[in-house]
């Protein structure tokens, strides 16, 4: 499957929204990818997990680590395709933490999987959690990379892969042209 096929999955589910959105990073944007609409179909999410797994297989990871909630389904499907386990971090008092008895061994080979990479913020935070317990983060991936400018993870020394890339500009609230135009802001994340 090529990149267009993956973006068409989002278009087909009306999961590529246009408007004025507040992203979880605090930035504003004209576009939003509601990946839950694509991942609601288990056959679809399985195929996407297999496609991500194909890009990550040669890293020989022993666990997928993913940021909840957005990354859980695709992380789990990727782990299934790789034949390894999937753990998730979740936000507690503003910081991503490993909870629920999840444990990572020092030296373990970890891949980070997200649904959509916007700024790379969640993936970077997830990498930090893995490294804090002595794990080796060997790669990261997402279904869609929407980052502008392109957020490779070279600064944290982790190779990054996505199934498709789409440029969706983000703005700080202070410099947002949609705010200037008075377009109502919506928070689409979990609504």
Shortest distance, position 186 Cβ to Zn ion, whole Å: 10
If binding is defined by CB under 5 A, does position 76 make contact with Zn ion? Answer: no
Quick one: which segment of 87-95, 120-128, 135-143, 179-187 binds Zn ion (CB under 5 A)? Answer: 179-187
Handedness of CA 148, 68, 50, 60 (dihedral sign): positive
- Please work out the total of residues on this chain that contact Zn ion, with binding judged by CB under 5 A: 4
Of the pair 28, 76, the CB lying nearest Zn ion is at: 28
Of the pair 23, 141, the CB lying nearest Zn ion is at: 23
Q: Which of 85, 156, 178, 188 is in the footprint of Zn ion by CB under 5 A?
A: 178
If binding is defined by CB under 5 A, does position 21 make contact with Zn ion? Answer: no
Residues 105-164 within binding reach of Zn ion (CB under 5 A):
none
If binding is defined by CB under 5 A, does position 28 make contact with Zn ion? Answer: yes
Shortest distance, position 70 Cβ to Zn ion, whole Å: 21
If binding is defined by CB under 5 A, does position 179 make contact with Zn ion? Answer: yes
Of the pair 79, 176, the CB lying nearest Zn ion is at: 176
Chain residues in the site for Zn ion (CB under 5 A): 28, 176, 178-179
């Amino acid at each position: 499957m090529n990149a267009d096929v993956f973006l068409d999955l989002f278009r087909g589910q009306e999961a590529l929204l246009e408007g004025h959105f507040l992203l979880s990073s605090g930035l504003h944007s004209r576009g939003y990818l509601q990946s839950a609409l694509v991942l609601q179909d288990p056959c679809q999410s399985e195929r996407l997990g297999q496609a991500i797994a194909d890009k990550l297989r040669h890293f020989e990871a022993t666990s997928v680590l993913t940021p909840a909630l957005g990354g859980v389904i695709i992380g789990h499907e990727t782990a299934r395709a790789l034949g390894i386990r999937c753990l998730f971090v979740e936000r507690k008092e503003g910081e991503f933490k490993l909870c629920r008895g999840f444990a990572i061994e020092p030296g373990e080979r970890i891949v980070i999987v997200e649904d959509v990479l916007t700024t790379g913020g969640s993936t970077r935070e997830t990498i930090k959690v893995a490294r804090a317990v002595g794990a080796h983060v060997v790669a990261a991936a997402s279904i869609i990379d929407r980052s502008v400018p392109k957020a490779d993870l070279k600064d944290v020394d982790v190779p990054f892969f996505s199934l498709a890339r789409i440029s969706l500009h983000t703005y700080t609230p202070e410099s947002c042209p949609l705010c200037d135009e008075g377009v109502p802001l919506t928070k689409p994340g979990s609504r």
